[in-house]
């Protein structure tokens, strides 16, 4: 039973790091190019990393399939830009 938990923990960690690198970081950089610097940028990264750990199975396809990744980045960018309007 412990080995299953260890395998899932490793899967969740690698998926969360891949999601940060592939999904979250490009979106935050893109937003910073169009608007002034975000306040609390490190808080955005921390929240998204924690959510990525919890939702690793759902985020896995977004992190490895380019079409899903692009759709996720565009949706996240749109939702982050709503507060600037």
pLDDT at 84: 64
Angle between helices 41-54 and 2-19 (to 10 degrees): 140
Residue of higher predicted confidence among 54 and 31: 54
Q: What is the pLDDT of residues 42-71, one digit of tens each?
A: 888 899 999 999 999 989 988 889 999 999
Is the confidence at residue 12, as pLDDT, over 90?
yes
Question: How many domains is the chain partitioned into structurally?
Answer: 1
Task: Collapse the DSSP code of 35 into the 3-class scheme (helix H, G, I; strand E, B; otherwise coil) and give the result.
Answer: coil
Q: Domain of residue 17: give its range.
A: 2-84
């Amino acid at each position: 039973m412990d080995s299953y938990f260890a395998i899932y923990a490793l899967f969740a960690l690698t998926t969360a790091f891949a999601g940060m690198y592939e999904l979250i970081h490009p979106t935050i950089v893109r937003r910073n190019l169009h608007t002034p610097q975000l306040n609390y940028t490190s808080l955005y990264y921390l929240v998204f990393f924690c959510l990525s750990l919890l939702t690793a199975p759902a985020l896995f396809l977004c992190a490895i399939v380019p079409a899903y990744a692009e759709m996720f980045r565009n949706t996240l960018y749109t939702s982050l830009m709503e507060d600037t309007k």
